[in-house]
Amino acid sequence: MGGDNPPELLFEAVLLAVEQHSPTHTFVLLATQQVVDILHLQYMDRLAVKTTARIEFHIVDDVITMADDPLSAVRVKKSASVNVGMRMLKKHHLDAFISSGNTGALIAAATLLLPMLPGISRPALLATLPTKKKPVAIIDIGGNLYCKAINLVQFAQMAAVYQRCREGVNCPKIGLLNIGVESRKGTKELRQAYQMLQDLSLRKEVQDGCAMKFIGNIEAREIFDGRVDVLVTDGFTGNILLKTSEGAAAFVVDQFEAAVKNASPKILVNGEKKDLLKKFDYSEYPGAIVCGVDGLVIKCHGNATPCSLYHSIMGAIGLAERGLVRKIKASLIS
Amino acid sequence: MGGDNPPELLFEAVLLAVEQHSPTHTFVLLATQQVVDILHLQYMDRLAVKTTARIEFHIVDDVITMADDPLSAVRVKKSASVNVGMRMLKKHHLDAFISSGNTGALIAAATLLLPMLPGISRPALLATLPTKKKPVAIIDIGGNLYCKAINLVQFAQMAAVYQRCREGVNCPKIGLLNIGVESRKGTKELRQAYQMLQDLSLRKEVQDGCAMKFIGNIEAREIFDGRVDVLVTDGFTGNILLKTSEGAAAFVVDQFEAAVKNASPKILVNGEKKDLLKKFDYSEYPGAIVCGVDGLVIKCHGNATPCSLYHSIMGAIGLAERGLVRKIKASLIS
């Protein structure tokens, strides 16, 4: 509930996941009675077959909209899907929770209702961007406007675990986003984080299951070469970086397409354009992860389509099965 | 002196400017005796013709390198080209000063040797990025890591004058870079700057020669649509934004080119690629402007080519003739 697209459209993604994948997962849909009624009517045939056993409907009474103030909405609308879902996650009735609603409300609900992982004071958002090699995990992309050095170090640890789980990188390379590569560059917090990450890296480099390698400061233009697996930054800067990439990519594709449209078969250009731009849409692969809470919480784009929600569901299943949250917790303690 | 490319290569840009443009400008070259000797030898024929009268060589003894610590280098190497040039600018022996050397040293020299404009405590760097409409002026892109609300407001005023001078925009539209459009978004400084820019906009909207319109917060992905003429941000965030655009653009062109290379004439793709990527290189159009000092100071990319330096020279001539600095000063006072 609460995304830009109607729940009855997004439901297509759930049916796709149920129909195409392993029969061991159960999908819990948190929606208002009205939406559930529409779903039953609209998808009568497909719900009638054997798949129904694996889809549970759970009625919620409140809906948090994009216009709502996140914190007060979470406090007042106790029966909104985001609150109900977080409580179910806490009780381990769910293994993962996915939302395409209000991001602030999702983070607020996760913070208020789930236990924090050891040493974490507030969750951070992790998303990936494409590079010439493997995707890079960027943390934080919007959870925290201000970050102390210790926060940045914890972000690095959490994202390193993510890259091990998601991309199978044994010893993820960590970079600190800065305006120059020298260790004296940037703000006081960044200079301090540089030293702390260097120390942590030495300590963890050979540690079984927690290995990571800090390669120093990295400039924004270099991340697309795939030089690092994890890019650490505060939530303000990370958000700007992500949206700049998205905007610049769309602009360039637009300009480039105009330049070559007479020379190349249009159908190819259109196909490639779509594929390329999708990679810049953080909701796709597999969505943004709310890191630092004891529960797997994934944020889809507000205007998630059935296709992007489907990717999120598959991503969530993979991360849950590989024990992302348990491994992050272990890494923060060790 | 002090750029990545040798001065004898860059000199080509000066000859091009002299040979192709109006005969009323004089070019003062600040270089070591050794470089001047090489130039005379290498360009004997072209220097022999009537153009020589318009090229003056001024011998300097020190060179600041990219590896030097900016502030101490400026203080110790009194006879480096950046220091000599700033003193000449102060005495009005020059109308504009262009450098492709150490950016920190350039800003330090400008700050130490030139008078500040009214109310400005430290200069900001302005650069442009391409959009679907006119280029957008981004200020600050690296002068100041931390900015107070009042700094951001002054940046807006200075960049508005730039867009009037450079692009002929009568009433430039100003946007404040933020992670959401609502006025309550972002840091304390940004929320305060939002209010101050709104007030200033109301005051200036109809003011002759100083008109500007604040359109509110703007997200990074929207700047490429050309919604604003000026994007205001702190130097850290602006630097990240600029370098992210550059990296994302290069990455997308690379991917897109690979996708269409079999279908379109390669020569077209190469030509378009070069043109498109050049637009993302802030040194080209016409370089970054050091705003806030009483003198026209322009920073080229460290690896400026004769072609990009030529654009900077032409840009500098245009801005000097249109009285950019005088107009910025007037706008800050009124």
Complex-level ipTM: 0.89
Domain end position, chosen among B51, B79, B114? B114
Nearest CA in chain A to B221: A247
Give the up-direction half-sphere exposure of residue B94: CA atoms within 13 A in the CB hemisphere: 25
The verdict on a CB contact (< 8 Å) between A244 and B244 is yes
**Partner-chain residue, chosen from A130, A263, A265, that has the shortest CB–CB distance to B268:** A263
Calculate mean pLDDT across residues A10-30. Answer: 86
Whether the pLDDT of residue A200 is over 70: the answer is yes
Whether the pLDDT of residue B268 is over 60: the answer is no
Q: A188 with A276, same domain?
A: yes
Whether the pLDDT of residue A64 is over 50: the answer is yes
Domain end position, chosen among B82, B114, B146? B114
The verdict on a CB contact (< 8 Å) between B244 and A245 is yes
Q: A129 with A257, same domain?
A: yes
The verdict on a CB contact (< 8 Å) between A187 and B145 is yes
Calculate mean pLDDT across residues A250-269. Answer: 64
Calculate mean pLDDT across residues B2-6. Answer: 88
The verdict on a CB contact (< 8 Å) between B248 and A245 is yes
Q: B207 with B60, same domain?
A: no
Give domain status of residue B324, yes or no. yes
Q: A206 with A327, same domain?
A: yes
Percent of chain B residues past pLDDT 70, beyond the cut = 88
Residue A269 near chain B (CB below 8 Å): yes
B191 vs B20 pLDDT, higher one: B191
Domain end position, chosen among B79, B114, B149? B114
Measured distance CA(B28)–CA(B15) in Å, rounded? 12
Residue B61 near chain A (CB below 8 Å): no
Q: B154 with B109, same domain?
A: no
Q: Which pLDDT band holds residue B50 (cuts at 50, 70, 90)? A: low
Measured distance CA(B329)–CA(B334) in Å, rounded? 9
Residues in chain A, overall count: 334
Going through A107-234 in order, the beta strands assigned E by DSSP cover: 124-129, 136-139, 173-177, 213-218, 230-232
Going through B6-87 in order, the beta strands assigned E by DSSP cover: 27-31, 55-59
Whether the pLDDT of residue B264 is over 60: the answer is no
Q: A95 with A175, same domain?
A: no
Classify residue A323 as left (phi > 0), alpha (psi -120 to 50) or beta: left
Q: B91 with B173, same domain?
A: no
Whether the pLDDT of residue A273 is over 70: the answer is no
Nearest CA in chain A to B243: A221
A52 vs B112 pLDDT, higher one: B112
The whole-chain average pLDDT of chain A stands at 89
Q: What's the pLDDT tens digit per position in B130-166? A: 999 999 999 999 889 999 999 999 999 999 999 999 9
CB neighbour class for A267 (10 Å; exposed up to 12, middle 13-18, buried from 19)? exposed
The whole-chain average pLDDT of chain B stands at 89
Contacts of A130 in chain B (CB under 8 A): 251
Give domain status of residue B107, yes or no. yes
**Partner-chain residue, chosen from A224, A241, A264, that has the shortest CB–CB distance to B260:** A264
Whether the pLDDT of residue B205 is over 90: the answer is no
Calculate mean pLDDT across residues B269-296. Answer: 72
Closest by CA to A282, choosing from A226, A239, A316, is: A239
**Partner-chain residue, chosen from B146, B254, B269, that has the shortest CB–CB distance to A260:** B269
Whether the pLDDT of residue B258 is over 80: the answer is no
Contacts of A182 in chain B (CB under 8 A): none
Domain that holds residue A158: 119-286+323-334
CATH number of A140's domain: 3.40.718.10
Nearest CA in chain B to A218: B240
Q: Which pLDDT band holds residue B266 (cuts at 50, 70, 90)? A: very low
**Partner-chain residue, chosen from A246, A251, A269, that has the shortest CB–CB distance to B260:** A269
Q: B264 with B202, same domain?
A: yes
**Partner-chain residue, chosen from A187, A265, A276, that has the shortest CB–CB distance to B252:** A276
Q: B92 with B1, same domain?
A: yes
Measured distance CA(A91)–CA(A27) in Å, rounded? 16
Chain B interface disruption, residue of A65, A184, A255, A279, most B CBs within 10 A: A255
Q: Which pLDDT band holds residue A219 (cuts at 50, 70, 90)? A: very high
pLDDT given for residue A125 in this prediction:
96
Whether the pLDDT of residue B107 is over 70: the answer is yes
Q: B266 with B179, same domain?
A: yes
Contact call for residues B55 and B14 (beta carbons, < 8 A): yes
Contacts of B145 in chain A (CB under 8 A): 179, 186-187
Q: B29 with B2, same domain?
A: yes
Calculate mean pLDDT across residues A77-95. Answer: 96
Give domain status of residue A179, yes or no. yes
Task: For chain A, positions 207-246, list CB contacts with chain B under 8 A.
Answer: 219-225, 235-237, 239-241, 243-246
Q: Which pLDDT band holds residue A42 (cuts at 50, 70, 90)? A: very high
B70 vs A48 pLDDT, higher one: B70
CB contacts < 8 A (A, B): 153
The verdict on a CB contact (< 8 Å) between A236 and B264 is no
Give domain status of residue A45, yes or no. yes
pLDDT given for residue A267 in this prediction:
39
Give domain status of residue B310, yes or no. no
Q: How many domains does chain A have?
A: 2
Q: B147 with B11, same domain?
A: no
